[in-house]
Structure 1
Amino acid sequence: MGINFKISDEVLGIFVPIFIYWIYAGIVAVIETAFPKYKMQTTEEQDEKNLVYRSTVIKGVLVQQSLQAIIAALLFLLTGGANPHDVHAAAHAAAGGGTGAGASACRYIIQFATAMVVMDTWQYFMHRYMHQNKFLYKHIHSHHHRLVAPYAFGAFYNHPLEGLMVDTMSGAISFLVSGMSTRASIFFFSFATIKAVDDHSGLWIPWNPLHVFFRNNSGYHALHHQLHGTKYNFSQPFFVFWDIILATYYMPQVDHKNEDKQK
Structure 2
Amino acid sequence: MNLHLNLHSQMQAAWDHVLATYQPGTIEMAGVMGMQIIGFVIPATIYMLIDVVFPKFSQRHKIQTARRQPTRAQIAHCVKVTLFNHVWIVAVHAALTYAAGFDKAMLNLDPTIPGWQTIVTDFIFGLLAREISFYYVHRALHHPSIYAHIHKMHHKYITPVAFAAEYAHPIEHLLANVLPITLPLYLKGAHFVSIMIFTVFELWEAAADHSGYDFLKLPPAEMHDLHHEKFRVNYGTIGLMDWIHGTDVVGWDRAKAKNA
> TM-score w.r.t. structure 2 length?
0.74
Is 1:15 aligned to 2:33, yes or no?
A: yes
Shift of 1:183: 2.5
Within the candidate set 218, 222, 225, 2:228 is matched to 225
Q: SS in structure 1 opposite 2:190?
A: coil
- The alpha-carbon distance between structure 1 residues 115 and 178, as it changes in their structure 2 partners (threshold 3 A), is farther
Distance 2:117 2:158 in 1: 41
Contact 1:71–1:168 (CA<8 Å) still a contact in 2?
no
Contact 1:14–1:73 (CA<8 Å) still a contact in 2?
no
RMSD: 2.9
Q: Which residue of 1 is the match for residue 3 of structure 2? A: none
Residues 106-145 of structure 1, C-alpha deviation per residue, up to 9 Å, x if partnerless?
11111111111111111100001111x2121001000000
Corresponding pairs, count: 221
Runs of 5+ consecutive residues of structure 2 not aligned to the other structure: 1-19, 252-260
Q: Which residue of 1 is the match for residue 183 of structure 2? A: 173
Shift of 1:73: 4.3
Distance 1:75 1:123 in 2: 25
Is 1:247 aligned to 2:246, yes or no?
A: yes
Shift of 1:148: 0.4
Runs of 5+ consecutive residues of structure 1 not aligned to the other structure: 91-100, 253-263
Query: Residues 27-106 of structure 1 correspond to what in structure 2 (within 5 A)?
Result: 27-32=46-51, 33-34=53-54, 35-36=57-58, 37-42=60-65, 44-47=67-70, 53-73=74-94, 80-83=105-108, 86=110, 90=112, 104-106=115-117
Q: SS in structure 2 opposite 1:40?
A: coil
Residues 13-45 of structure 1, C-alpha deviation per residue, up to 9 Å, x if partnerless?
211122122211122133344212111235552
Contact 2:28–2:107 (CA<8 Å) still a contact in 1?
no
Distance 1:190 1:142 in 2: 26
Distance 1:58 1:31 in 2: 16
Aligned residue type for 1:11:
M
